[in-house]
Amino acid sequence: MTTKISALRGRPRSFDRDAAVDVAMRLFHARGYEAVSVAEIGKALGIKPPSFYSAFGSKAGLFARVVERYAETGERFAVDALAGGSSVADGIERLLLGIARIYLQCDSAAGCLVIDATRNSTDPEARAITARQGAAGRAIIRDAIAQEFPDRAEALADDVVIAMKGMSAAARDGASLETLARFAAMVARAFRQELETPAG
């Protein structure tokens, strides 16, 4: 979808909203929601604030689109990782080892945008956006675990999400793939052991 906007000089030029979301994703991922201003986003996109607000409504409105697009890829990966293999423990191991790579392969910044972009934000709307997306990701993990361990799925999903948050923070702090992969394997072993321990 494109919207025509008028530049200060010359002819109107085409503004590609999809491309704009990609640019904004890199900014939010690298620096977090709070540190990126509307003026900075507008400058990166080559548009003025009125055109920005006309296209996205607000900074939070653009951020919601960014989070939605970012999460599409992550959710597809999580579903595929958890679906393959012979057991949920295999799926969790595949998920964590894959995340170790993904958290270091981003173009703009290491770690997870959904986990980290609003970590220090005081904007309730932005925090609600990442909270909703985080809950959706957690639900994918919980539902996969529930296929084998319905009574323990909630607690075990929390354990996996806590590990993911730690891995994201470590990636942003400069942890290597070897370090993240080693931690992921350790968590996967602990997860298997936990499944072998009777609930109670």
CATH number for position 136: 1.10.357.10
Tens-digit pLDDT profile for residues 79-106: 999 997 689 999 999 999 999 999 998 7
- On the question of pLDDT at 128 being above 80, the answer is yes
Percentage above 70 pLDDT, the chain? 90
- Tell me the whole-structure pTM to 2 decimals: 0.87
3 state SS of 3: strand
State how many domains the chain has. 1
Q: Domain range for residue 140? A: 2-196
- On the question of pLDDT at 180 being above 80, the answer is yes
Confidence band of 45 (pLDDT split at 50, 70, 90):
confident
Which regions of the chain does DSSP assign to beta strands (E)?
2-5, 13-16
Confidence band of 11 (pLDDT split at 50, 70, 90):
very low
CA angle, 123 then 73 then 130, to 5°: 15
Q: What is the C-alpha separation between 22 and 64, in angstroms, rounded? A: 12
Can you say whether residue 85 is alpha, beta or left, with left for phi > 0 and alpha for psi between -120 and 50 degrees?
Answer: left
Tens-digit pLDDT profile for residues 146-172: 999 999 999 999 999 999 999 999 999
CA contacts within 13 A on the Cβ side of 88 = 22
- On the question of pLDDT at 46 being above 90, the answer is no
DSSP string, 171-187: HHTT--HHHHHHHHHHH
Q: What is the C-alpha separation between 30 and 141, in angstroms, rounded? A: 26
